[in-house]
Amino acid sequence: MLIFLFYLAQSLNITTIPSFLTPPTPRRLLSGVYCAKINHALLFGGGSQSGKPYSDEIWRFGLSDHMWEQTSLTTPSMPEARIAAAMAVSGDMIYIYGGACDHGPSADFWSFNIPRSIWIEIDILGDNPGPLAYSAYANYEWNNVDYMAMFGGYNDSLATNNFYILNLITLEWKQYINDFMPKSRIGAAMEFNKEDNCLYLWGISKGNDRNESFAVYVFNLKTEKWSILETDYEENDFVQPRNFHGLAIYNNFMYVLYGSDPQSKTQPDNVLELDIKNGKWGIFTTAKKIKISMFATIPDKEKYYIICGGNLEGEYNSVYEINFEKKFFNVLFDNTFVFDRRHSYTLFRVGTNLILFGGANHLKVYNELLIFDLIEEKWSEVVATGTSPSPRYNHCSVIFQGLYLIVFGGKDFTTEFNDFFLYNLRTNKWSQFYPKPEPEPRYGCCMMAHEKFIVVQGGKTPSSVTSEIFTVDMHNLDVTYVRTFDFPSSNLELYNHRCWSHHTPDDSSLLIYIATGEYSSGKTSSSIFIINCNVDGKATTSTARELVNFNESYSWSAAGVVSTENWCIIIGGKKWSLYTSDKFFAVKINNSDNAATPDIYEFEYENEIYLYSIDIEHYSNYIYIGFSGAGYSDMVKEHYILSQFFKIYPNTTKEYEIIECSSGTYGDDCMPCPYGTYKENTGNGSCTDCPEGTYNPRLASASLESCFPCPFNYFNFETGKERCLECERGYFCPVGSINEAILNETIVNYDYQPQDYASNLTDPFDGRVYYFVYFTGTLLFLLYFFFPNFRSKLSKIDYFTEKHSTQMGKPVVKFRTSLGGLFTIVFCIFQLIFIAQQFTEYKNNNILETKALVPAITRNEVFAADSFIIDTDFLYYPGICISEKLINDSEANNDYVECSDYFYISFNDIDGKVTCHKPKNSKNCRVRFEKSGLILNGDSSITYNFCEFQALASGIRVTTKSSSSIPGEFSRKSFIIEYKNGTVFRGTQKSEFFFEVTRSVFESDSSDWPTSTTGYHIGEKNLPDYGESKSGEDINFEQCVGVTINLGMSGAVLVTKRIFKLTFMLTISSAIASAFGILEIFGMAMIMTERVDEYVSGKYKSQKNLNSIIGTRLIINTSFEYHKTDNDEKLTYMDSPTRSGNFKARKDHSIIFPAYPTYIDTTQVIELDS
């Protein structure tokens, strides 16, 4: 097989992060010495209250280069993990004694060969110190012999004041017992003063006796006697007793380094200075004020180093240098967060952070979440809320939609898992979810994210290594399995492999690439496979083939893999669980080739680095390599992971072509995508602006979901924005607004139920008959009063001949009158109208409607609705709503069309057609369910779920409408729930609406309506349940808005009946009877009219006769007219003796009602004298 290898003129750039290598985890009560041969501080043991309580690690800190290194061990025998051991160095050998283990103080004695990294346990020679921990110890040279002195400490029952000196040449212990000795102490400090060849001891005594605790004890090596150095501590309040401190002696000055007083819970922050010659205390003001104790004190001539330690707030791994000659204080290594190194974790990038989860070492399995800031290059631990996964390693994980970490499977030391967990990166919360059907437990699988799907391939189950693919629809948690391939599935039965995916060019399916891995036999895969799977269509079969085949030297499992557009980069790996790989190489991916000769580019770099069970990530044009499993040279080792965290970056044009810009970065310099943008693919292409109504406050975003909807009272009418604009006063801007709007009043719930039956009374003459009656009646009366000939002719049609007046005692004579004729005509017209109304009433108002609820068990109809519609309106919905392919279709904007590709429906005992409607520029999305001939057999429900980008709503209205059993009627009920304060409906718990459905049947006696029709009446069962809602930033970290519509079936049936009030014959009989009754009424009216007429006419004739008589008398009286003068009282005749002239003119009165006559005095007065 021909393999193309490209070698570098320059080696690949590889740096460690941090540059000083990975330091130890923060710890306290560790032991330390200075090894002059290698100019390193060597540290052993220590522990943490929040982490491992005891450690057995050996660390080196270079005092020249300030680099950390954990010592690799090559011996199976080693000390038990411990704290507070006594420690000394002689040449290239380290010695430790005692210390506190998990079982208590220890009495073992060990040596460590620094060049060979070998521990050896040593027998005790001389006086046996017994179990001891927290002793004060000093490592010194006297008379060209190295010694270790050890005082006090805690044995297995109490504090002691035993004093031992170990000869590091003969390895013989000697106990010194004097009449005068320091009292018992725990955590005191001791140091050798070469000026006077004495050991100095200082620290709090057991019981904290004041004088004893302040006493500076001096042991003279020549006289082998203890004494107390006189000091002025009583004159200085700043001298505070302490233990777990450091002690330094230089140039006849003793320095007490920090420390603490556990009994009083105080922690001094200063360094005390004692002039040994005159016993005067002071403060070494050069030292930085720090509250720290339980650290390792490392002497190197005039310099002392304080390494690690702790205080009441926690533990540290900082390194401080104090130079007592030059009097300066230096921070060599600031406290840094460090976690236990591990293997088989997962590592992912989100924006400018790397996220590490899980993993294990030989002692422990982890479930920590750790964040690495790519800008500051610092680690931090995330303390998340919610239900977190149990500790696990070799699990499979993926970043979903740029916002969520998905974790599946894996194992611990005893159990394999099949549970799923989701970590929301923004809300910092874990949650567990439960796809169905549940997959088998497995580990070593690989996982990908594709749109709304999680795709898992391979892995080792409890029974076998599988080739199956299963997908999880994250919007409804449905699981689909792919177990059939047109390719030997045994080739795909892999675990500890890596996979990635791309769309096919026509977007019809997903291409899954599988690289590295191993089979159940332990043999590693020598191929890269490609699987074509229709994930969107949830297909259960797929095609597969071998894409690349390499030779054995490139076949590895548990390697780190990163893919770019055209290359697959593979780093490290293991084989047969024995050998590890130091290869960094890239394979070119060409989909058109079938098992073609591989195009391999092998990176060269200085110093071999063997890595396996790692994960790697890609940011900008860097590749970050996580910690590796333990190893020795190219061999796998179970214990002590010593690997570092690496960053590699290209150095040549070819390397830049291979390690191209990652997703979220762009341009020739692979800069992070700016705020308001994102980029999903690799390469140096440009970033994509976030759409209108959204913003993105983060750099280097790699998914559309990083664009968040504008918050409440903000809007954004432009693309690619970091922030949204504030809504002006008086306007309303719901979440996700593109522009400002006036607040719409709530559309009230509108309900409608079939009304009670009302007659449809119509005038058969359309109202014109009344004009005819008015006109005819008026005309007849005018003719009757003013035309006698007409009156005379009316008598001929008089029907009421028997009703005319007769006189008592006289023969009854029938005769006709004109008034009788007039009443006859009016009666005929009235009767014609009345009969017409009677028959109209029979036709239109002869129906009596009754309604009754009866038990459903008493009816045997099949109930169906001719039309059944449920309209669900998501109010102020910024998402697309309809299918993305129809967005630019103008007709689709005004019609009900296919819903969004991320819209999900679930039916329970109901089915029908569902469409969506969102006109252009509309703020609402309507989902319509409709079904003709719907049959509901019981309680049913419909669940909708929008999980597309910007799926949220400020309100939801559901309107259910059904055709009624009553022809032409319908029943409608509506509910609305909404927020106007910025809260939106979004989350996993859907809103619920509750309708009561009552079956109805209609029965009719009339042929005007069909009978035995059925339908449904819709009413309220319960008030809506709002479900889950979000506000503020929490809105951004949920995916879906959903609603469940519950249709509860009533146990009763509404029976509506319409029956006739009267039969046709009864109507005719009633009309005839009414005619005769009306005839009698008209006859009586005519008789009354005639009587009135007779009375009035008689009165009139009487008055007329009286007036005639009076008139005649008047004529007679006026024939003798005379006039009396004023003066002579004589009768004088008028000059003009006319009839009219002798009387005053009078007004003629009505001939019908004549006025009472005025009588004139006609008596003539005659003067007889004349």
Strands 635-636 vs 671-672: parallel, antiparallel or unpaired = unpaired
Helix H or strand E encompassing 1094: helix 1064-1117
Q: Going by C-beta distance under 8 Å and a sequence separation of 6 or more, which residues neighbour residue 866?
A: 932, 933, 963, 1015
pLDDT for the residue 382: 92
List phi, psi (to 5°) of 861.
-75, 155
Share of the chain above pLDDT 70, in %: 91
If you average pLDDT over residues 198-217, what whole number do you get?
93
What amino acid occupies position 903? F
CA-to-CA distance for 571 and 556, rounded, in angstroms?
Answer: 9
List phi, psi (to 5°) of 833.
-65, -45
Share of the chain above pLDDT 90, in %: 65
Give the pair of three-digit tokens for residue 265.
Answer: 């819970």
- Range in 59-68, 94-103, 273-282, 1065-1074 with the lowest mean pLDDT: 1065-1074
CA-to-CA distance for 138 and 134, rounded, in angstroms?
Answer: 13
Higher-pLDDT residue of 1116, 395:
395
| Contact predicate 253/195, CB 8 Å | no
If you average pLDDT over residues 774-791, what whole number do you get?
75
| Contact predicate 497/523, CB 8 Å | no
The CB density around residue 265, as the number of other CB atoms within 10 Å, is 8
β-pair partners for 62: 40
pLDDT for the residue 467: 96
Nearest Cα residue to 1119 out of 1144, 1138, 1145 = 1138
Map tokens 């504030």 to a residue: 726
pLDDT for the residue 807: 65
pLDDT for the residue 10: 57
pLDDT for the residue 458: 96
| Contact predicate 1146/1158, CB 8 Å | yes
pLDDT for the residue 129: 96
pLDDT for the residue 1079: 80
Nearest Cα residue to 987 out of 1017, 1025, 930 = 1025
Give the pair of three-digit tokens for residue 467.
Answer: 């080739």
Tens digit of each residue's pLDDT (9 = 90 or more) over 1019-1028:
999 999 999 9
pLDDT for the residue 600: 93
Higher-pLDDT residue of 606, 490:
490
pLDDT for the residue 769: 61
Higher-pLDDT residue of 1071, 159:
159
| Contact predicate 256/276, CB 8 Å | no
The CB density around residue 352, as the number of other CB atoms within 10 Å, is 19
If you average pLDDT over residues 423-443, what whole number do you get?
93
Confidence of residue 819 (pLDDT cuts 50, 70, 90): confident
If you average pLDDT over residues 182-189, what whole number do you get?
96
If you average pLDDT over residues 539-562, what whole number do you get?
93
The CB density around residue 1143, as the number of other CB atoms within 10 Å, is 14
Nearest Cα residue to 929 out of 905, 956, 895 = 905
Tens digit of each residue's pLDDT (9 = 90 or more) over 158-180:
999 999 999 999 999 999 999 99
Query: Which spans in 178-238 are helix H?
Result: 210-214
Higher-pLDDT residue of 1146, 61:
61
If you average pLDDT over residues 416-445, what whole number do you get?
94
| Contact predicate 977/955, CB 8 Å | yes
Nearest Cα residue to 868 out of 778, 928, 926 = 928
pLDDT for the residue 748: 60
If you average pLDDT over residues 518-538, what whole number do you get?
93
pLDDT for the residue 952: 93
pLDDT of 1119 over the 80 cut? no
CA-to-CA distance for 42 and 419, rounded, in angstroms?
Answer: 44
If you average pLDDT over residues 969-989, what whole number do you get?
92
Tens digit of each residue's pLDDT (9 = 90 or more) over 668-683:
999 999 999 999 999 9
CA-to-CA distance for 330 and 332, rounded, in angstroms?
Answer: 6
If you average pLDDT over residues 371-387, what whole number do you get?
93
pLDDT for the residue 762: 58
Please state, rounded to an integer, the average pLDDT across all residues of the chain: 88
Give the chain's radius of gyration (CA, Å). Answer: 56
| Contact predicate 305/324, CB 8 Å | no
The CB density around residue 1063, as the number of other CB atoms within 10 Å, is 11
Tens digit of each residue's pLDDT (9 = 90 or more) over 436-479:
999 999 999 999 999 889 999 999 999 999 999 999 998 889 99
pLDDT of 156 over the 80 cut? yes
Confidence of residue 760 (pLDDT cuts 50, 70, 90): low
- Range in 619-623, 875-879, 1113-1117 with the lowest mean pLDDT: 1113-1117
Confidence of residue 747 (pLDDT cuts 50, 70, 90): low
| Contact predicate 4/600, CB 8 Å | yes
pLDDT for the residue 414: 95
pLDDT of 1164 over the 70 cut? no
pLDDT for the residue 50: 80
pLDDT for the residue 933: 95
Helix H or strand E encompassing 1104: helix 1064-1117
Confidence of residue 886 (pLDDT cuts 50, 70, 90): confident
| Contact predicate 333/318, CB 8 Å | yes
Higher-pLDDT residue of 1069, 69:
69
Confidence of residue 846 (pLDDT cuts 50, 70, 90): confident
